[in-house]
Amino acid sequence: MSRSGRGPDRGAAVAEFALVSALIAVLFLGAVQLGYALHVRNTATAHVIEGARVGARADSTPGDGAARARELLATTLPGRYGTTVTAGRSVVGGVGVVQVSAEIPLPLLGPLGPPGSMRVTGQAYAEDQG
């Protein structure tokens, strides 16, 4: 073995770098994907809550709330989101509420993803209690 470090381990640093950098890239992409999924879920939740608030006003209907949630989802998230939005009235704890729900695709692989979906729901107290 020579003192200059050129022995059987020559080139090992390049192979180690390739293996470690691939692992770091996968971890980084996983963190980005998780961040994107949380962004989509939180944005959709905020929009259905806003839709429930609109639908719960005394001068509007749950359908108005669904339309507002659909409009917000269409303007802030890619095209596949906001296509299935439903609204209705229900009773929670003896109080009338307007409930708006959206079925959104699972945000895996960026905006692409498998055919699965998740449901986000927002509620607001109905002003007219009707």
Confidence at 87, pLDDT banded by 50, 70, 90: very high
How far apart are alpha carbons 29 and 119 in whole angstroms? Answer: 25
pTM of the model: 0.77
pLDDT for 109: 67
Question: Side by side, which strands form the sheet with 95-105?
Answer: 84-92, 95-105, 117-125
45-60: pLDDT as tens digits: 999 999 999 999 989 9
- Give, in order, the Cα–Cα distances in Å from 118 to each of 38, 45, 83, 87: 12, 11, 13, 16
Lowest mean pLDDT among 20-29, 31-40, 78-87, 110-119: 110-119
